[in-house]
Amino acid sequence: MTGTGRHLVDLLHRKTVLLTDFDGPICAMFAGYPAPTIAAELRDLVTANGCQIPASASDVGPIDFLRLVADACPPHVVRLAADALRDAELRAAASAAPAPGIEDVLAAAHATGRRAAIVSNNSTASIVSYLDRHDLTRQIDHISARYDGMNPHHLKPHDHAVRRALDGLDTPAETAILLGDDPADIQAGRTAGVATIGYANKPDKRERLTDAGPDTIIDTLTELADALRATPPTP
């Protein structure tokens, strides 16, 4: 086992809850319905409703665009944009591509007595739809994700969703570990007092994740599944 693997095993020994982001660790959410297309559609929607977002924000993803709408637009336009994003994510969920190895990770978590929860900026409805479609619903014990009426400023890197997951599972922060492929995941976990694993599933992510300060970084989900199995079952 490599040094990273041993460190990951050490991190997992007293962790009874695996928190994971959705887009990235669970699936490639926008594999069939690209995020830039959704962001452009949201821009058209808010413009049609009398609100202008600076052109300099043309290359942001749909989640970041929603934050910009919350900064610049009246509440009714924010709600229109949030509802439109939810509906777009529901369509995207139908063509989302599973992340290689995630089923093995979830199986390993449950085999060692752990619970698994999703902590995501994506809509709860789209996550439920994806899990149902891929027969993963029973593998997830809790979902803490974007909900209708949620303040966009409470999306990660804010720790709101992480704390909601801990509350929903009735578990203290020190018993949980968070898997995420974006610096926002790492920041949210650290703010909530949760140990974090950076998932560098693309070559350009390792440096950005390193700068965010996770407890460790993995390149494949197989590493996490193996480390979960290498730890004794939790009481």
Residue-wise pLDDT for 145-195, tens only, equals 999 999 999 999 999 999 999 999 999 999 999 999 999 999 999 999 999
Q: Are 8 and 223 in contact (CB under 8 A)?
A: yes
Give the residue-averaged pLDDT of 206-228: 95
Give the residue-averaged pLDDT of 72-81: 97
Determine the Cα–Cα distance for residues 117 and 156; give it in Å rounded to an integer.
16
| Sequence-distant (≥ 6) Cβ neighbours of residue 55 within 8 angstroms | none
pLDDT for residue 234 is more than 70:
no
Determine the Cα–Cα distance for residues 26 and 130; give it in Å rounded to an integer.
10
Domain at 3-29+98-230: CATH code? 3.40.50.1000
**Interval 100-117: pLDDT, tens:** 999 999 999 999 999 999
Q: Are 231 and 212 in contact (CB under 8 A)?
A: no
